[in-house]
Amino acid sequence: MKQFSTALIAAAATMLCGTALANSGPSKDDAVAMVKKGVAFLKANGVDKAYAEITAKNPQFIDRDLYLVVYGLDGKCLAHGANTKQVGKELIELTDIDGKYFVKERVALVKSKPAGVWQDYKFTNPVSKKIEQKVMYCEKVGETALCGGVYP
């Protein structure tokens, strides 16, 4: 009986550790805080410096799979903390795996609620390299959408 109890406890501990590891990514609160940090940095340092720091993957704007991205309200990518190849490109017609025009939707959401909006879509997680559900928090800053998202 003692061996069975020990095995049961070990199995439970393994399951709990696995769950903790699976949920060890940044939270929605972390995304909001990161976006607010990006907005403050942009306002304090200007567009050029902020976009350069975000795109350069400055550690203050990266937290595991959480990073910042900035789009013009026309859908042009102005800064991207995970994929420098997207910077400078018109991405308004970009779709996720389900055909959702997520950049177009994001821009429309920010125009309608500048103080902050959440958006759901699917995207490749830069850590796992798998397409996963993602939730993106965005705030309107001038004529841009500054966003950060997490994989719940």
pLDDT digits (tens, 9 = 90+) for 95-104: 999 999 999 9
Dist CA 123 CA 108 (whole Å): 19
The one-character DSSP state at 81 is: S
pLDDT at 126: 84
From residue 98, give the alpha-carbon distance in Å to each of 101, 134, 147. Answer: 9, 13, 21
Q: Is the pLDDT of residue 1 over 90?
A: no
pLDDT digits (tens, 9 = 90+) for 27-82: 999 999 999 999 999 999 999 999 999 999 999 999 999 999 999 999 999 999 99
Query: Check: CATH 1.10.357.10 for 26-150?
Result: no
Strand partners, 124: 131
Record the pTM: 0.83
pLDDT at 19: 38
Q: Is the pLDDT of residue 13 over 60?
A: no
Dist CA 136 CA 89 (whole Å): 20
Q: In residues, how long is the chain?
A: 152
Structure tokens at 93: 């017609």
Task: Compute the Cα dihedral for 139, 140, 141, 147 and give only its sign.
Answer: positive
